[in-house]
Each structure stands twice: as structure tokens, then as C-alpha cells.
Amino acid sequence: MRDQRFRFKLSTIIIFFVCLVVLLSLMITDLLISNNVSNKLIKNQEEKAIIVARTVAKSQLVIDEISDKQPTTAIQDYTKDIQTATNVLFIVVMDMNGIRKSHPNPEKIGKHFVGGDEKAALKGKEYISISHGTLGESVRAFTPIYNGRNEQIGVVAVGISLKSVESVLGKSHWNILIVTVLGLIIGIIGAILLARYIKRILLGLEPFAIARILEERSTMLQSVHEGIIAVDNQSIITLVNKSALQIFQKAGLSQKPVGMKIDEYMPSTRLDYVLETGKPELDEEQNINGISILVNRVPLLVNGEVVGAISTFRDKTEVNQLAEQLTGVKMYAESLRAQSHEFMNRLHVILGMVQMKSYDELSDFIRTLVNYQNQEFGNITQHIKDPALAGFIMGKLSYAREENVELSFECNNVIPEPKDPQFTQELITILGNLIDNSIEAMSDTDEKTLEVNFNYTEKFLTIEVLDSGPGMSDELQKKVFEKGFSTKGENRGYGLYLVANSIQNLNGGLIIDSKLQLGTEFHIQIPYEEKRYDHD
């Protein structure tokens, strides 16, 4: 059994993963945005610094003051105004020796520029650098200063503190953090709603419960003896159990059917018809490459809509064997009961004659009875060599006498044992149902005679069953072989249906001739292969 401690609820799993996805997404977004914002801010600051530096370098005041060897405060005043107007960290003007002519801190004027990144500018190059000076780390723009003769006379350095960039990034991080928290809250609410919706669809079941039910369902489907095959609404096979595969293999269908179209895998099926009509088909017979199966086909309905169909079936041979066993036991029991009842009646006659001391009449009765039994049974055993069929006919003779029906069996020639024992079972089904049906039909008639004639010639067995019953109309004759049709009430109407099926199984033919008030005749012809015995 699986450990229950590690089973989490569906809502817990969904909330966890939604929060994880939201958190990771926002963290990646924060990283990308921060990097992008940082690059753009620095680039903007660099452009601002270079523009301010160029402006100062082009100033005629600056050019004149540097060219004049006498130091004044004009450059300091000018750069201070520009610094205040542009909000930069510093504006430093230096000569070709790197000596400051201006600085936010007046005490630094006249001293050498600090940073070491000004050397390229003193050689006439304009560029941007990031360096640490007396005012801290800053973005620095260096622009050479040229006089009217295009001679370099100095350099302008404009610095913008990186703290402003960090401040903007800090605000950006704070905004992203707020969005992250809001995203997590919205994600949790959405996850809870999604979990409830999914759970409602899953009928309140947790994933581990669904997995257990699926395993149980699979085990049950594979363990049942009946074959099961299911299709979806597109006629695609979605399920086949082991019993079905065994029957399919017996029929020569060795491919894996799941995923195939049902009519491509098994053309003789009617599951596609069940899908179209939505009507079930019960206890139908189907042939798959010579294998006969008994099938039930039922549509699968969800909210009144057909979403698929399922077929359960079993090898008809097994069903027939079981039915034949039950039929045989029933018929033999009825035969024994009829013979027992007939024997008791005769014993009562003998007892009465003994009590009346009519010994001569008793002797004649017993002699007549013995001769009749020998003649009747001897005639049957002499012409019918199949013991099971002969015993069955003897039982029916007793049953007919019990029902006050005059039943006669006639055989024009000897009927040998059949090659296939299955033939006898089918023949007993045919005769048993025809005789019982005829005896029941004559229950309300005055004349009750029933003839059963056998004739065996050229590997064909012909059987005629003639009764003196009320007969049937033409319309009734067309319906009597339909399953479940009966004029005698509910749960009837299977006898003649079984007769028709057995005749069809033996590749035989049936003709019915019936007239109202004139009785009914059944004419049956069946191919008959006799049993051969090997002699040394």
C-alpha cells in the first residue's frame, strides 16, 4: 500500500506550483527589467555628461580663460552655474598638465586631477569612463578644449554620480516587489478557484483517489471472463480486455486494436450503428472469421449525449455448451418424471387387479404391457443408433402419453450415429422444442395426434413433425421464429427461435405448412455425416 503521508491535495499542489511559476516569472522579469533599466539609465547619463562637457568645451569664456595665463574665477563661476542648471556631480576644467581650473570644491582648484582616466583626453580623445574620484564613483565624460587655431589647450571632465542610477534602480526594484506580491496574491486566488473547478469536474476526487479507482477499474476489466471492447464517439477503439484479445486471437485478429477504427479492425461489428442510433442491442450473435460470439452492445451516454459505445461478448461455443448441458438435464429430468408417472399409473392398475383377484386379466395386462414396451422401445433402438437421441425419444413418448397425446415415431431406415456429438445436442434442441410446442398447442383440441417421421438418405436427414393442433395464420407464421415472440404471455417465445438457430448452425433448412383448424407441419432437412468406425 502506498504511503499516505506523501499524498497532497489537488488544491495544495496547484497553489504551490502556481506560486512557484509566478515567483520565478517575476524574478526573471525583475532581473531582465533591472538590467535593461540600468543600461538605459547609464547610457542616458553618459549622453547627458558628454553634452554638458561639449557645451563647456565650446564656451568662448573657457577657451579665453585657459589661453590667458593669469588665473581668474571666471571659469569656476561659469561651471558652477552650468553644474547647478544640469544637476551633475561635477564639472572640472583642466589644462594640458591636468591642473584643475574649476571644481565643486574650490580648495581643489590648482591641484592635479584625480582618477587617472584623463590621460587619453589630454591627447585629444573624447570618451566616457566610470571611475572613482574625490566625489565618489561617477560616470565621467571627457572632451578636449581647442582654441581658434585648433590647438588643444585643455580638457573638460563632467561627472554624474552613480548613486542616482542606484536610486532609480531601487525604486524600480520596489515597484517590481509590489507587483510580485500582488501577482502572488492573484495567483493564489486563481489557483484556489482553478482547484475548485477541477475538483468539481472530477466529482470531488483527489488525484490519488482517481489513480486508485483507475487501477481498480483496470483490474476488474481484465479479470472478467467476458470480452469487453469500447469505442469513443469517433469509433476509435479505446479499451480491450484480455478475454477479448484471446477471442480475437482465436479468430485470427492478432494486431493491437487500441487506437484503430472499429470497422477497420472488425468489419462485422455493429458498434458504429449503436453510436449513430444510441439504441442498445442485446443478446445478438456475431461471427468473427468463423468464431461465433454472443454480444451485448450498449451506448455510453453522458448528459444525454452519446460519447461512445461498449460491447461485451462471450464465445458462443461456451454459451452453447452450458445451454446444452442445462437443456439436456432438463429434458432428461422431464423424461424420467414422465416415465416415473406412467410407471406409477400402471402399478396402480396392477394393484387394483391383485386386490380384485383378477389374476387372468392381470396376466393379460402384464403380457400386453411387456409386448408393447418391447415393440415400442425395440423399434426405436433398432432404427436410431444414437443412444442419447433414442433415450430422448423414449422420454418424449412417455411425456406425450401423460399429456394424453398420441405420439408416433416412424423411421424409414436406420439412422446411424452422427460424426459430431454436437449434432445430437442441436437435434435434441430442435425435436424437443417442436414436440413440446406442438403438445402445448393441442391442449385445447379434441383430437391430439402428433407424428414425427425420420428419413435418412444420401447424407441428408429429413424430419417431419405433424400435429392436429389449431394451426397458424400466414401472419403468425412469419413471426413465430422471432426471439421473444409468443401468444402465450410474457417470458415466452424462445422455443422456435432456438429451433431456427440450431437448424442454421447445422446448415439445414426449414419449411412450415400450417392452416387454421387443420394443424401444422414442420419439414426440416439437415446435412448428416455419420460416424465411421475403424476396424482392424
Number of domains composing the chain: 3
C-alpha grid cell for residue 148?
581658434
The reply to whether 309 and 168 lie within a common domain is: no
Task: Calculate mean pLDDT across residues 483-512.
Answer: 77
CA–CA distance, 92 with 98 (Å, rounded to integer): 10
- Mean of pLDDT values over 180-200: 79
Q: How confident is the model at residue 3 (pLDDT cuts 50, 70, 90)?
A: very low
Q: Is 350 contained in some domain? A: no
Burial of 436 (0-12, 13-18, 19+ CB in 10 A): middle
| Most confident range, picked from 95-109, 126-140, 522-536 | 95-109
Q: Does residue 28 sit in the same domain as residue 174?
A: yes
3-state secondary structure of 11: helix
Instruction: Give 296 or 166, the one with higher predicted confidence.
Output: 296
**Separation of alpha carbons 391 and 394, rounded Å:** 5
pLDDT for 521 equals 92
Q: Indicate if 291 and 202 belong to the same structural domain.
A: no
pLDDT in tens, 26-38: 778 777 777 777 7
Residue 210 belongs to domain spanning: 1-223
Q: Using 50, 70 and 90 to split pLDDT, how confident is the model at 524?
A: very high
Assign 489 a pLDDT band (cuts: 50, 70, 90). Answer: low
pLDDT for 251-293, tens place per residue?
777 777 888 888 888 877 888 888 888 888 887 878 777 777 7
Report the distance separating Cα 80 and Cα 72, nearest Å: 14
Do residues 209 and 230 share a domain?
A: no
- Predicted confidence at residue 46, as pLDDT, reads 84
- Taking a C-beta distance cutoff of 8 angstroms, is the pair 146, 152 a contact? yes
Same domain, yes or no, for 147 and 274?
no
Instruction: Work out the average pLDDT over 83-108.
Output: 87
Q: What is the pLDDT of residue 195?
A: 77
Q: What percent of the chain has pLDDT over 90?
A: 7
pLDDT at 143: 93
The amino acid sitting at 230 is A
Same domain, 213 and 238: no
Residue 327 burial (C-beta neighbours within 10 Å; 0-12, 13-18, 19+): middle
**Tens digits of per-residue pLDDT, 54-93?**
999 998 888 888 887 666 788 888 989 998 888 888 899 9
Q: Which of 175, 205, 223 is the last residue of a domain?
A: 223
Domain assignment present for residue 535? The answer is no
pLDDT (tens digit per residue) in 414-470: 888 888 877 888 888 888 888 888 888 888 888 889 999 999 887 888 999 999 888
Grid coordinates of 503? 437448424
Of 107, 141, 148, residue with least CA distance to 126: 141
Domain match, 215 and 249 both: no
3 state SS for 358-413:
CHHHHHHHHHHHHHHHHHHHHHHHHHECCHHHHHHHHHHHHHHHHCCCEEEEEECC
CB burial class (10 A; 0-12, 13-18, 19+) of residue 104? middle
Establish if 336 belongs to a structural domain: no
Cell of 175: 515597484
Residue 340 lies in a domain: no
Contact (CB, 8 A) for 313 and 226: yes
Amino acid 29: pLDDT = 75
Quick one: 188 and 43 in the same domain?
yes
Query: Residue range 40-62: average pLDDT?
Result: 87
Indicate whether 1 pLDDT > 50: no
Q: Any residues with CB less than 8 A from the CB of 532 and at least 6 apart, and which?
A: 419
Do 439 and 422 share a structural domain? yes
HEC secondary structure over 162-215: HHHHHHHHHHHHHHHHHHHHHHHHHHHHHHHHHHHHHHHHCCCCCHHHHHHHHH
Residue 17, all three cell numbers? 506550483
Cα atoms in the Cβ-side hemisphere of radius 13 Å centred on 535? 1
Given 194, 223, 252, the domain boundary residue is 223
Confidence of residue 2 (pLDDT cuts 50, 70, 90): very low
Q: For residue 197, what pLDDT is reported?
A: 80
Cβ–Cβ contacts within 10 Å for residue 59, how many? 18
Of 115, 83, 116, residue with least CA distance to 102 = 83
What type of residue sits at position 385? Answer: K
What letter represents residue 254's amino acid? S
- Among 14-23, 29-38, 254-263, 373-382, name the one with the lowest average pLDDT: 373-382
Amino acid at 308: G
What integer pLDDT is reported at residue 198 of this predicted model? 77
Per-residue pLDDT band for 320 (boundaries 50, 70, 90) equals low
Strands in 221-290 per DSSP E: 227-232, 237-240, 281-288
Q: Which of 191, 223, 255 is at the close of a domain? A: 223
Q: Residue 344: inside a domain, yes or no?
A: no
Contact status, residue 461 vs residue 526, Cβ threshold 8 Å: yes
pLDDT at 377: 62
Between 362 and 60, the more confident residue is 60
- Is residue 499 within 8 Å of 472, Cβ to Cβ? no
The Cα-based distances of 312 to 214, 221, 280, 292 in angstroms read: 19, 11, 12, 14
Q: Verify that 252 and 194 share a domain, yes or no.
A: no
The amino acid at residue 437 is: N
The pLDDT score that the predictor gives to residue 536 is: 44
Give the CATH number of the domain where residue 275 resides. Answer: 3.30.450.20
Is 347 domain-assigned?
no
Among candidates 187, 190, 186, 231, which has minimal Cα distance to 20?
187
Q: What is the mean pLDDT of the chain?
A: 78
* Domain CATH number, residue 473: 3.30.565.10
Gap between the Cα atoms of 44 and 32, Å rounded: 18
At 477 the three-state DSSP class reads: helix
Average pLDDT over residues 342-346: 65
3-class secondary-structure state, position 46: helix
Distance between CA 191 and CA 489 in Å, rounded? 62
∠306-309-314 over CA atoms, to 5°? 160
Q: Residue 274: inside a domain, yes or no? A: yes
432 and 465 share one domain: yes
Q: Considering the domain boundaries, does residue 351 fall inside one? A: no
Confidence at 174, pLDDT banded by 50, 70, 90: confident
Confidence check: pLDDT of 511 > 80? yes
Assess contact for 130 and 162: CB atoms under 8 A.
Answer: yes
More reliable by pLDDT, 452 or 495: 452
- The contacts of residue 374 (CB under 8 Å, 6+ apart) are none
273 and 203 in a common domain: no
Element spanning 345, H or E:
helix 316-355
